[in-house]
Amino acid sequence: MRRSILTTAALIALTAATPARADDIASALAEAQRAYQGGQVQAAQTALQRALELLQQRGAGNLAAALPAPLAGWTAGEARTTAGGGAGVLGGSMASRSYRNAQRQTVEIEVMSDNPMVTQLAAVMNDPATAQALGQPQQVGALRAIQARNGDLQMMVGERILVRVRGSAPAEAKMEYARAVNVARLSGR
């Protein structure tokens, strides 16, 4: 039970710094605290899970905000976001956006965070010998990236965020899009 109180305190601290959806998150946390104090452990857990889901949705929205506008000569679809279980089997948050040019070439950018697979890939990418097995090491701004033979790119932002750029477009277009991702926004999220 002490763990539940600590979890609630941690979630409250997180919401204090995040105004987006803060009312919904704060309400879920307050509901959890009331349920816990009333001895309703299951209801407290449910409310805490709801607060965590809302925080993950907010995180996915922040990832989407880092996706670039379409480059000259390209159009873009709406950014898509998923969080928690919807972000894949391993959870976390994800945002993606597709781009297309007049030649019908495509680029898709996916940004994933707080997913155990991302953590494992970070370890692989930080080992130069192993990373070379995945593709050619590249520099994208201040970030190290791996570029596959088909030009697809993977780059890590810290240890928690993976940016993948792929599609049918030439490698140069994928690299331009990789450079256009707002890495500063991802780093500060």
Q: Which sequence spans correspond to the domains of the chain?
A: 2-63, 68-187
DSSP state for residue 65 in the 8-state scheme: H
Residue whose C-alpha is closest to residue 61's, from 76, 48, 78: 78
As its CATH architecture, domain 68-187 has 2-Layer Sandwich (3.30)
- What local confidence, expressed as pLDDT, does residue 6 receive? 38
DSSP element (H, E) containing 147? strand 143-147
pTM, two decimals, is 0.72
Q: Which residues of the chain have pLDDT under 50?
A: 1-20, 86-89
- What local confidence, expressed as pLDDT, does residue 167 receive? 97
- What local confidence, expressed as pLDDT, does residue 90 receive? 56
- What local confidence, expressed as pLDDT, does residue 116 receive? 80
68 Cβ neighbours under 8 A, 6+ residues apart = 109, 177, 180, 181, 182
- What local confidence, expressed as pLDDT, does residue 1 receive? 47
- What local confidence, expressed as pLDDT, does residue 15 receive? 39
The three-class DSSP label of residue 9 is: helix
